[in-house]
Structure 1
Amino acid sequence: MSASQTFDPWSPEFVAYPYDAYRELRAGPPVSWFEPTNQWLVPRHEDVNALLRDRRLGRTYLHVATHEEMGRPPDPEYLAPFWHLNRTGMLDLEPPDHTRLRRLVSSAFTPRRVNALRPTVERLAGDLVSAFVAKGGGDLIADVAEPLPVTVIAELLGVPVEDRPLLRPWSADICGMYELNPSREVADKAVRACVEFSDYLRALARLRSREPQDDLITALAQVDGLTEDELIGTCALLLNAGHEATVNVTGNGWWSLFRNPDELARLRADHGLLDTAVEELMRYDTPLQLFERWVLEDITVHGVDIPRGSEVALLFGSANHDPAVFADPERLDLSRRDNPHISFGAGIHYCLGAPLARIELVASFGALLRQAPGLRLVREPEWKAGFVIRGLKDLTIEV
């Protein structure tokens, strides 16, 4: 039950197009063992969806057992700042801590607050695209895809304009730890970013406690029962999760459109397709390819026994191309209505920022379609090395 030989997440060729390997995985056993990362790979939509909701699995196991009891090594001391920041955000917590923290954060990160951001998002997207068009194009990722969500999150949190250039490098360095088997160099950069970002957020949160503003950090600082560490972990999570995926949906999405010129022509002719187009682009070339879960008690998946203490790798990109769920999954169909893609997860860890991400994506794609109706690709892009958080290095465009 070993994984297909074509599943090679460190191969540039695989990262550039993993979907052939996924097809092989789905044609094989429902779960397969992948020795290089000591994980069980789960490639089919039905199983990924079910296991995301299965409370016998968790993002952590530390609420029920120690590392030793789960047969895992202790955390290296040098990673302590990374794990401290990571484990104070809700993504790596399980009930009851997750339930309490998500409820508290949701009381400040409300639908009303998110919807109130829509005019700001649309203005920012329009301004970025105007500047991009005025200079005749450039790198769509650096000039539009990256600045928009970082600026939106900074506006939401209340990060002063002069400090905003710090955010993207911190986020990129921290997110390096979410790749498979990260190196010590990657870990050291992530730890340094965690320390610097935590110190910055702590100082800003204390300032907002003394001098309240109309921003999310102030709102979180006023939430009764939310500790300072939890506030910091929440803000870090909102930055990391709140823009990495949006950046990559934008880059991967436009690259998908350029590779499918008939669909791009449909979208140019009918901007009313934008909402379904954004959902389809998230499905077609998924930004988060893999999400991990720990097995908290022995489970059996399609006759395969997976013991407590194991780790499963839920393959979002494969699930989103499963022909059992999506008709003609290899085809980009911007008007696809039946589209239960799993790009935002499922269950209790479903992405809290999904509504904001959709607002950002519709705004940026819409602004580009309106202001640069003839934008064209200059050269084929290269992919970054990461597989888990998968995106392009750049996307050079002329308008």
Structure 2
Amino acid sequence: MTVTTESTLPPFGLTGWAAADIANPYPVYRRYREAAPVHRAQDGTHYVFGYDAVTTLLAARDFGRRAHTADGAARPLVPNRFAALRTMVENWLVFLDPPRHTALRSALSREFSLTVVTNLRGRITEIGTALLDDIAAAAEFDFVRAFAAPLPILVICELLGVPAERWDWLRERAVAIQGASSSRAGGRTDTLAAADAAAHDLRDYFLSVAGQRRTAPRDDLISLLLRCDGLSDDEFAATCVHLMTAGHETTTNALGKAVLTLAAHPDAAARLRAAPRLHARAVDELIRFDGPVQAVTRWAQHDLVLAGQRIPRGAKMVAMLGAANRDPARFAEPDAFLPARPTAGHLGFGRGIHYCLGATLARTELEIGLGLLLPILDRCTVAAVEYPHDMVFHGPELLRLRRA
């Protein structure tokens, strides 16, 4: 844990949280945000809690995605001995800065356009309906395992053009990698080794699929990537894995947290159930109220001032999205779940050039998935919830629902 200098608050950091605070971090955020919008830790990390300061941090080109040495070289994201994992993570879109980021994002944006996602609505509905059919007779089930995890990864499999029957194998490896790239790992060698092995497996798998597509191209994301000029094998495989992990883990978390929010607000759930369809405002309010990503990191590229605090070049900046989305300076009644709230401006999908590429797809999956779930949620109670020790990718890893 780290020490703040702005107040007498206890130390703040992204590890070492109590289970109750992991499940509901917002009272903790509130105390720090009320003390100051930016807190500097003894290790030099700046934690940013206020909405205006987080928005500036995410939107300004003064902050990059990688730390650099004094001579300008990018610092490794993963220790060198985990070569497969390091190569993969360092080629992810989310860790790229312009001009590489600009070129790759431009190519991918076509595949995540509103038209493409609209054309997927029927298939998303089919997938969600089939998943619910599989648990129709179950008196109790793990919602994460039965619905929240398979729905988004089956949709991204559809986009990538990989067999749906591999979703369990793909998710197992994606979760291993995601754990190592978040606050779950804590530098543990066993966690990093498992992620490295998963990265090696996935690289081999996607390169094998690429060989098939070169012979017989299809109308899918893998074929699109193969048409991108100058994309190396490492960049290709990393992008496939990044789309898979980013395309399912956050939506899995969002679905789980949405069910918990609706269970805790039965009157709001009843109003949504009575509506002809789940309104886009309700989806965005669910993301604002309890988003699937609580924190993102940036690095100061030169000396500057943020929210009145001097930030030296090379400083690590952690934008606390969950805190910013509950800032009363931006949102009236920030701790209330109000499905009809005009929530334009929430930061659940980020801001700036790294705004979530799959935001339109995620909103559509949540709208359709929750629309299918609302009729049965009033007959279910929450039997058990478990959160991993992760304050970055945030959501229940187990959510047992029991039919009344």
Partner Cα distance (1:264, 1:22) in 2: 26
Query: What is the deviation of 1:157?
Result: 0.4
**1:134-157: CA deviations, max 9, x gaps?**
334411111011110010111110
SS in 2 for 1:78: coil
Residue aligning to 2:47: 41
Query: What is the deviation of 1:109?
Result: 4.3
Residue aligning to 1:377: 381
Matches of residues 200-219 of structure 1 in structure 2 within 5 Å?
200-219=205-224
Matches of residues 114-129 of structure 1 in structure 2 within 5 Å?
114-129=117-132
Partner Cα distance (1:109, 1:249) in 2: 19
Residue aligning to 2:327: 322
Residue aligning to 2:82: 79
Query: What is the deviation of 1:221?
Result: 1.2
SS in 1 for 2:383: coil
Does the C-alpha gap of structure 1 residues 67 and 252 become closer, same or farther in structure 2, counting only changes over 3 Å? farther
Matches of residues 99-114 of structure 1 in structure 2 within 5 Å?
99-114=102-117
Query: What is the deviation of 1:373?
Result: 5.4
CA contact (8 A) 2:299 2:317 kept: yes
Please report the RMSD computed on the Cα atoms of aligned residues, expressed in angstroms.
Answer: 2.2
SS in 2 for 1:159: coil
CA contact (8 A) 2:89 2:238 kept: yes
**Is 1:17 matched with 2:24?**
yes
Query: What is the deviation of 1:69?
Result: 5.0
Partner Cα distance (1:133, 1:68) in 2: 60
Q: Could you tell me which amino acid in structure 2 is paired with residue 93 of structure 1?
A: L
Residue aligning to 1:345: 350
Q: Could you tell me which amino acid in structure 1 is paired with residue 216 of structure 2?
A: E
Q: Could you tell me which amino acid in structure 2 is paired with residue 34 of structure 1?
A: A
Does the C-alpha gap of structure 1 residues 256 and 182 become closer, same or farther in structure 2, counting only changes over 3 Å? farther
Stretch deviating more after TM superposition (242-251 or 213-222): 213-222
Stretch deviating more after TM superposition (243-252 or 174-183): 174-183
Q: Could you tell me which amino acid in structure 1 is paired with residue 145 of structure 2?
A: A
Residue aligning to 2:372: 367
Does the C-alpha gap of structure 1 residues 14 and 56 become closer, same or farther in structure 2, counting only changes over 3 Å? same
Q: Could you tell me which amino acid in structure 2 is paired with residue 23 of structure 1?
A: R
Matches of residues 111-150 of structure 1 in structure 2 within 5 Å?
111-150=114-153
Query: What is the deviation of 1:382?
Result: 2.1
CA contact (8 A) 2:278 2:370 kept: no
Q: Could you tell me which amino acid in structure 2 is paired with residue 396 of structure 1?
A: R
Residue aligning to 2:304: 299
Q: Could you tell me which amino acid in structure 2 is paired with residue 56 of structure 1?
A: D
TM-score by length of 2: 0.91
Partner Cα distance (2:180, 2:377) in 1: 38
Does the C-alpha gap of structure 1 residues 191 and 280 become closer, same or farther in structure 2, counting only changes over 3 Å? same
Partner Cα distance (2:77, 2:277) in 1: 52
SS in 2 for 1:390: coil
**1:5-50: CA deviations, max 9, x gaps?**
1645322232121111111111112211234x65210001111111
SS in 2 for 1:395: strand
SS in 1 for 2:296: strand
Identity of aligned residues (%): 35
**Is 1:54 matched with 2:57?**
no
Query: What is the deviation of 1:227?
Result: 3.1
Q: Could you tell me which amino acid in structure 1 is paired with residue 82 of structure 2?
A: L
**Is 1:94 matched with 2:100?**
no
Q: Could you tell me which amino acid in structure 2 is paired with residue 33 of structure 1?
A: R
**1:183-241: CA deviations, max 9, x gaps?**
22221121111111111111111211112123211122123343333222221111111
Partner Cα distance (1:227, 1:70) in 2: 21
Residue aligning to 2:228: 223
Task: Structure 1: give runs of 5+ residues left out of the alignment.
Answer: none
SS in 1 for 2:197: helix
**Is 1:264 matched with 2:269?**
yes
TM-score by length of 1: 0.92
CA contact (8 A) 2:63 2:299 kept: yes
CA contact (8 A) 1:280 1:339 kept: no
**Is 1:386 matched with 2:393?**
no
**Is 1:244 matched with 2:249?**
yes
CA contact (8 A) 1:273 1:334 kept: no
Q: Number of residue pairs matched?
A: 394
Partner Cα distance (2:46, 2:108) in 1: 32
